[in-house]
Amino acid sequence: MSDCLFCKIVAKEIPADVVLETDRALAFRDINPQAPTHVLVVPKEHFQDAAALAAADDGWADAVLQAGQAVAEQEGVAEVGYRMVFNTGPAAGQTVFHVHLHLLGGRNLTWPPG
Ligand code: AMP
Ligand code: ZN
* pLDDT 10s digits, 49-72: 999 999 998 899 999 999 999 999
Q: Please give the Cα distance from 103 to 85 (Å, whole number).
A: 7
Residues contacting ligand 1 via CB (< 6 Å): 5, 16, 28, 30-32, 40, 87, 93-96
100 catalytically annotated: yes
pTM for this prediction: 0.98
Mean pLDDT of the chain: 97
Per-residue confidence (pLDDT) for residue 80, from 0 to 100 = 97
Q: What is the position in ligand 1's atom list of the atom closest to the CA of 87?
A: 3
Per-residue confidence (pLDDT) for residue 2, from 0 to 100 = 80
Q: Which residues contact 42 (CB under 8 A, 6 or more apart)?
A: 6, 9, 10, 25, 26, 27, 64, 98, 99, 100, 101
Phi, psi of 25 (to 5 degrees): -135, 155
Per-residue confidence (pLDDT) for residue 114, from 0 to 100 = 81
- Residue 81 CA, ligand 2 centroid: distance in Å: 29
- Residue 108 CA, ligand 2 centroid: distance in Å: 31
Question: Could you tell me whether strands 82-85 and 37-43 are parallel, antiparallel, or unpaired per DSSP bridges?
Answer: unpaired
Provide block-wise average pLDDT over 10 residues at a time, the chain (114 residues). 93 98 98 98 98 95 98 98 97 97 97 91
| Domains with residue ranges and CATH for the chain | 1-76 (3.30.428.10)
